[in-house]
A and B are shown apart, each in its own frame.
Chain A
C-alpha cells in the first residue's frame, strides 16, 4: 500500500484497541466456557455429547445465518417461527402424499421463500416497521398453519424419512452438515458478493446507500426472501427429524435464533455483523445449556443467566458503539 500512516493520537489508538478487544469478546467467552466444561465434567468432551450439541443447534444456525443478514439490513424478522411451522407442515403433507423426499424438502424451502417474499414486500413496499410487519404476518402465517393441517398433528408414516435429518456422515448428522453448508453460503454472500456490500450499505445508512446507487428496496426484499427460505429449510428438517408436523402459535424458535444472532454481536442497529458471529452465539447458548444440564443446575437459574447474558451482549454492543464511533 502506498498510503502513508500518520500516527493517530493516543486516545484514538486506545479506542481502537478497546473496540478490537470487544470485537472478539464473544469468541473468548465461548472458548472459556468450553474449557470450563471440559475441566469440570467427564461427559462433556465425548463424541456423543458434542454431536448432540451441534445437531441441536443446526436448525437455529440455519435460520440464524439468514437472520444475521436481516439484522444487518436494519430489520427484524419475527415470522421465522411461523414460517418454520408452515414449512414443516407442507413438507409432511407433500411427503405423505407423494412419497418423494426431494419434493417434500423442496416444497418446504419454497413455502419459506414465498412467506419471506410476503414479508419483504410488506416491509419495503408498504414501508412498515419490520418488527411490527413480521409480528403481524406471524399471526397470519400461524393461522395458515392451522388451516393447512386441519388443526391436527400430521404424522409421517414412512420412518425412513427421518434419515434426511438424522442420518450420519463423517461424525455429524446430515442436518448439521446442511447447517455447515448454509453458514458457508451466507458467509460468502455477505463477505464476497456485491449483494453483501449493498446489504451493509443499506443497513448502515440507507440514504447514503441509495445515493451510492444501491437499490435499497430490492436488497431488503431479497434479504427477507433468503431468511424465509432458510426458515423453510429448517422447517423441512424439523419435519424429518421429528416425523411429525403440528400447527401452533409458538414464538420460541425465533427468539432462540435472535438470541444467537445478538449474543454473537451482530448489531440490532443494522450495518454491522457477521455470520460467524451467529454461529459462535448459537454455540455459546448451547454450551451454557449443556453445562447446566451436565451439572444438573435448576432450569430456572438457566433462564436467569440466559436473560442476563443477552442484556450483557447488547450493553457491550452499545458501549463499543459509543466508544468507537462517536467521533
Chain B
C-alpha cells in the first residue's frame, strides 16, 4: 500500500527533554491513523511536526515518497497537510463562510466574489457531507460545529491529510460519534486522517492503523485490528522502571481528617465528589485532563464556588468564597499553570514567595523588609532554590526553580492543607525528585496534601491514596502502594466489565 506520509528517524528536543526520539512511522493514504500514548509520550509533538508547527532536530518527513521540509503550517498546507488544532483558531465574529475561505477568499479583480465562494462552499459541503449554514457567525456555533468549520477550511485548501489533536476531548458523546462518522466519510473521499487521542475505545472503533508511543519513541505501529484494549494499555504504559521516588509519607493510624468533601458539586464541572484527606497524607486526584480534578481543587481553594454539597476543614464547616479566605483558614494552593495563575513574572522571587503572608510581615500595613527577607531566605533554602537569589526577577529562573518558589511560598507559616495541581509540570528530572522529597517532607510534618497529576508514574510513586475521577465524578479509589498502572488506566479510561468488577472490590 502507498504511504502518503512517512517519517524516518524524527527527533525533536525541547530544551533538555527529548519529545521525539528517532521516530519512524508511515501513514497509508485514505486511512484513519491514530496516535496513542500518555500525556508527554510525544504523540501531539509528532502531529505538530507533521503539520509544520514544530521543526524536527533530526530525521525527515516524506510526502508521497519525496523528502520535504515543513518549516511552517503554510509549508505543510502546500503539501496538502492541514491541522485541526485542539484550541480552534477561528475568527469568532465572522461567518462560517468567511472563516472557511479566510486568507484565500475568491476574488474578481480584487473584489470579493461572493457568488463563487458560495458555490465552492456548497460543493465542498456536499462532497464531504458536512452540513453547515455558511451565513451564521462562528461564535454562535457549538464546539463540534466549529470543529467542522475548521475541517472544511482545511479541505477548502485542498488538504489531503487532516491532522487532528484530541478532536473529541471537548465533545459530548453524541457529538463525538457524529464527528467520527464524518471522519470515516472523509476517508471514503480519499482524505487521510491522522488523529491523536487518548480515548482508546474510539481508537479501536474508528482507526485503521495505530501507532503506540511512549517516552518519545514508537513502541509499535500497525493495523488496529491486531490490537485490543489490553494490548494498547500495555503498550502505552510499558513495563515501568521504579523511578526515583522518595519513600512514601507514613500516615499515623490516629491521624485527623483535615479535609472532608461531602457530595460536593459544581454544575457543569463535577458532581457528588466525596473524599477525605488526613493529616500527613498525600492523596492524588488522578484522571484524564478535563475529568474535573482541577475544578474540585479550585472550589476547595475558594477560587470558584460550589453549587451543592459541603466541605469540612479540620472538622469544621468550611466554605471559602475567595482565595484569601481559604488562605486565612490555613489552606495553600500551587495552581495548575504557574505562569498564568501562580507567579508574578516581573517581580523578584521574594515578592512571589511572601505574597500570601504579607500580613504576617507587616505592622499597620507597612512591610518589615528585614523580617520578610529573613523568612523568605529560610524558605528558599528549604526548597533548595539554587542559581538565583531572592532578589532575582522570576522570569530569570528555570521552570524547576519557579516551581520550587511556589513550594517555598507554603514553607512559610505552613498551611494545614496544601492543594498541589500538577506539582512537577514542565520541570526537569532533577527538580522533580526534589519536589517529591519536599512533598513527602511537608506531609511528614503533618500537612495534608491533595495533589493532582496527569503523570501516571508520579501518581503511583508519591501517593498514599489515589482517587480517580472520570467525567466529573469519582470512579474509584486505589491504595497508593499497591496500585498498578493498568488498574489506574482502567479506571481513568472507564474500561470493560472485568476490570469494573475489580474496581468495585477495591472500593469496598
Contact = CB atoms under 8 A, between A and B. Distances in A.
Contact of A325 (B323, B346, B365): B346
A12 B396 contact: yes
Contacts of A207: 340-341
Interface stretch (B117-125, B205-213, B385-393): B385-393
A215 interface: yes
A3 B340 contact: no
A205 B322 contact: no
B339 to A, nearest CB: 9
B344 A211 contact: no
Interface string B359-398: 1001001110100000001001100011111100001100
Interface in B273-317: 301, 303
A197 B395 contact: no
Interface stretch (B144-152, B216-224, B350-358): B350-358
B395 A325 contact: yes
A193 B340 contact: no
B380 A327 contact: no
A188 to B, nearest CB: 8
Given A215-B322, A324-B395, A5 B351 contact: no
A192 B344 contact: no
B351 A195 contact: no
A205 B395 contact: no
B320 to A, nearest CB: 11
Contact of B359 (A5, A12, A194, A208): A194
Chain B contact residues (Cβ within 8 angstroms of A): what range? Answer: 35 or more
A192 B367 contact: yes
Interface string A116-131: 0000000000000000
A16 B396 CA distance: 9
Interface residues of A, number: 34
Contacts of B335: 208, 211
A208 B340 contact: yes
Interface in A201-218: 201, 204-205, 207-215
B343 interface: yes
- Which of A5, A197, A200 neighbours the largest number of chain B CB atoms within 10 Å of its CB? A197
B416 to A, nearest CB: 15
A193 B286 CA distance: 41
B327 A213 contact: yes
B344 A200 contact: yes
B386 A3 contact: yes
Interface of A: 1-6, 8, 12, 16, 192-198, 200-201, 204-205, 207-215, 271-272, 324-325, 327
Interface of B: 301, 303, 322-324, 327-328, 333, 335, 340-347, 351, 354-356, 358-359, 362, 365-367, 369, 377, 380-381, 385-390, 395-396, 409
